[in-house]
Chain A
């Protein structure tokens, strides 16, 4: 739903001609995911689908039918890359093995984004975003901190393991295209999402091989302040990593007497005595507004940040001036504002050329005009539910 679609979106937004292949009738699962205008479900108005499929054309194909698979092979014969996220059992059932797809197109790059890769004892395990975030080791690291042993490890919002899979898929696929310039040959690129998640554990994993220690969300942070505080009108995240940042912050607070206590004399003791320090800080911070502290702190090079709500992001003068949010003009959903270009190229602009496709919108264009089927053949395929 997300991983292959995001990989395809990254390529489509950079100018590739991407054709989204969906099952007939129900379409992609993201069409049922929302968010929907007014919270009323509608397959053409799901925000997740509209976002993940910008700049793509869309066709429908029933891959459980032989003729559906044949048409997919025809499409692949004409393509530079095929991206999918069917786990191994479905991949085999649908005939999406690399050898078969590449038989008629030596240059084809096939990107398989899978939960656990294609080898090893867990290759056929069922998975969701939550189980993969857990299998990759990030979930264990997040929770309520010291004293919250009874609370479970906590996932991040959204479908982050799938986004990581998609990013790695796009990267591997493009690297294979680059290699093809030299070798003339395509290849099979296999992504394991569990490994993608295990690859982003910051400094935590190496504590085990380097020191025999297991990083835990329940431990005291090594340095402070690095924590959330409630202001008059919202939340900020206070971040003082270097001593000079803390000293500047203390000055900004008007040098309260408690700040000079021995207990808080360096970042290590501030961490060791965090319960006490946090109360002092909270008392001062709650009298101020988010924006006031953000501006005042940043003006003095203290790297604190607001805890942005979605409203804050959309209202941000900074993001506005960079033109970050894009408007997707969709025939049924209307104008939808969504995250836009995550990078800006000086020579090759990122742009929205078309909105996400309606279900089966480009069946004629792709099957008749591109693959050369006759109108009668397409009608027959439609009658049989292949398209």
Chain B
């Protein structure tokens, strides 16, 4: 465990988020060294606590790999926010925090009595970010938004898919992590502004908009030309070959691309077709695009005869971009990621040591590390109430028996 201070050492986050987008934002802040305190409700636990994978297939409120992945390094306090006394305690926590994060539908925090105008009274320089599906304003701001529906809503599905197929998904609820990361960037910007001016602020983030922000080639093709790029499978208008090819074995695939004519010549030699390197049918991007079906057939003949790892080694040795299409087992066992120390293997009180995905950046001066596994529900309630907010143990007992603290 790292002992040196992370870049956000001393920053406290009151985390009202749930599901994936919001917790993904606060995961970044926890990774950066902030103390992130999740406010949970035992009667309505985070959706991800109720979803698989369960450790060894056995259900339990603290046993979900989904929750335990995206809440690493955070603390948990349980408050029943339907009770006025619990809302008061939440405000006391906000008064001792720097940042408030939430991703409820627009208006929910206000109705709980925890809207920005209220919290600003409680802590004048508070930074608050709301990360709803549609944003805090506009005619659709009160629409219901679920992660899987964000991908089609944002326009991504209409651009993604096999040729001549219907619109498709992308495999994950992409709006969630993309919204969450934009949210973390916005929070950092607000922290830097507060350090300079002493002023907090409110940030309105729309997951829909943050996803559209990653689709400029689609949007601008339309605004310039009134058309949108057709669904192209794995092909690319500026590179050929550019695709995912079947290899020997059950569902084994390799991704590869020729960025330039020189890449193509190296590729042709590496797959045992040196004559193609100088063949006019494939010599230029235009020619390769015109003959792409045949090109892909020839590459498949070569990839089918070997494993994706072999194909990757051969092509990389020739200087051609290629990589195995990794599944979770491949990732888990990857020599490179393990050598780089990417995975986190901390002992969790209920599920023991499980491999979790770690931090995708490395900072030498203020090291970032996962300092504790995801919290059990309410694990830090006593710490928050007693150590942070100054309640005595008899008061805490009364709050518990009143169901304020659950």
Q: Contacting A343 at CB < 8 Å: which of B55, B182, B233, B363?
A: B182
B150 within 8 A of A: yes
Interface bin, chain A? 35 or more
B155: chain A residues at CB < 8 Å are 308-310, 312-313
Interface of B is mostly: mixed
Residues from 198 to 230 in A contacting B, C-beta threshold 8 Å:
198-211, 213-218, 222, 226, 228, 230
Looking at B150, B159, B224, B225, the one whose CB has the most chain A CB atoms below 10 A away is B224
How far apart sit A156 and B255, CA to CA, in the bound complex (Å)?
Answer: 14
Instruction: Flag if B257 contacts A128 (CB, 8 Å).
Output: yes
Known: A140-B327, A174-B188, A308-B153. A163 touches B178 (CB 8 A): yes
Type the 1/0 row for B64-77, where 1 means its CB is closer than 8 Å to any CB of A. 01101100000000
Instruction: Flag if B8 contacts A175 (CB, 8 Å).
Output: yes
B355 within 8 A of A: yes
Interface bin, chain B? 35 or more
Closest to B320 in A: A126
Closest to B335 in A: A121
5 residue pairs from A and B, CB less than 8 Å apart = A142-B171, A152-B246, A174-B188, A194-B337, A319-B208
Other 7 A-B pairs with CB < 8 A, given A206-B69, A228-B168, A346-B203: A135-B326, A171-B32, A183-B366, A187-B365, A195-B340, A214-B327, A314-B223
Instruction: Flag if A138 contacts B57 (CB, 8 Å).
Output: no
A204: chain B residues at CB < 8 Å are 172, 328
Interface of A is mostly: mixed
A317 within 8 A of B: yes
Query: Which of the 9-residue segments B84-92, B213-221, B287-295, B381-389 touches chain A?
Result: B213-221
Instruction: Flag if B220 contacts A314 (CB, 8 Å).
Output: no
Q: Contacting A188 at CB < 8 Å: which of B165, B245, B364?
A: B364
B330: chain A residues at CB < 8 Å are 137
How far apart sit A245 and B360, CA to CA, in the bound complex (Å)?
Answer: 37
Query: A83 to chain B: closest CB distance in Å?
Result: 13
A59 within 8 A of B: no
Query: B24 to chain A: closest CB distance in Å?
Result: 8
B111 within 8 A of A: no
Residues from 186 to 201 in B contacting A, C-beta threshold 8 Å:
186, 188-193, 195, 199-201
How far apart sit A226 and B364, CA to CA, in the bound complex (Å)?
Answer: 43
How far apart sit A117 and B160, CA to CA, in the bound complex (Å)?
Answer: 28
B391 within 8 A of A: no
A298: chain B residues at CB < 8 Å are 140, 143-144
Instruction: Flag if B323 contacts A178 (CB, 8 Å).
Output: no
Type the 1/0 row for B150-164, where 1 means its CB is closer than 8 Å to any CB of A. 111111111111100
Could you list which residues of chain A lie within 8 angstroms of chain B, going by C-beta atoms? 10, 14, 32-39, 47-48, 50-52, 116-123, 125-128, 130-144, 149, 151-158, 160, 163-164, 167-172, 174-179, 181-183, 185-196, 198-211, 213-218, 222, 226, 228, 230, 235-237, 239, 241, 298, 301-314, 317-319, 321-322, 324-325, 336-348
How far apart sit A174 and B323, CA to CA, in the bound complex (Å)?
Answer: 31
Query: B31 to chain A: closest CB distance in Å?
Result: 9
Type the 1/0 row for B291-321, where 1 means its CB is closer than 8 Å to any CB of A. 0000000000000000000000000100111
Known: A137-B328, A190-B361. A158 touches B224 (CB 8 A): no
Query: A15 to chain B: closest CB distance in Å?
Result: 8
B28 within 8 A of A: yes
B261 within 8 A of A: no
Residues from 39 to 96 in B contacting A, C-beta threshold 8 Å:
48, 51-57, 65-66, 68-69
B183 within 8 A of A: yes
How far apart sit A190 and B316, CA to CA, in the bound complex (Å)?
Answer: 22
Instruction: Flag if B253 contacts A154 (CB, 8 Å).
Output: no
Residues from 204 to 231 in B contacting A, C-beta threshold 8 Å:
204-206, 208-210, 212-225, 228-229
Residues from 4 to 29 in B contacting A, C-beta threshold 8 Å:
6-9, 20, 24, 28
